[in-house]
Amino acid sequence: MKEYNGHRSYNAWNVSLWLNNDEDLYADWYWMPKHFSLKKTVSTLLAVLPSKTPDGAVYNRLSVKLAIEDMWGDA
């Protein structure tokens, strides 16, 4: 499996970049893993996020899950 800036793919890297570096978006979700399960956090985010990041990467279940795990460990 190829790595992209330490992530499994461009899409995983891009989604993580947006979730963890967009101040407003981060403020909306960073508390969730402390209160919800990983599965519920991912589902909640997917329900409110647009389908793609501003530069075209897809917010999908795997990429959002990987971004959360990268930030919070096993959440």
pLDDT digits (tens, 9 = 90+) for 6-58: 899 999 999 999 999 999 999 989 999 999 999 999 999 999 999 999 999 99
Decide if 57 is inside a domain: yes
pLDDT for the residue numbered 73: 76
Decide if 55 is inside a domain: yes
Decide if 1 is inside a domain: no
Is the pTM of the predicted complex or chain greater than 0.75?
A: yes
Range of the domain at 52: 10-72
Containing 40, the helix (H) or strand (E) segment is helix 38-48
Domain count, the chain: 1
Question: Per-residue pLDDT for 75 more than 70?
Answer: no
Decide if 28 is inside a domain: yes
State whether the Cα torsion 27-59-69-4 is positive or negative.
negative
Closest to 59 (Cα-Cα) out of 2, 17, 31, 3:
17
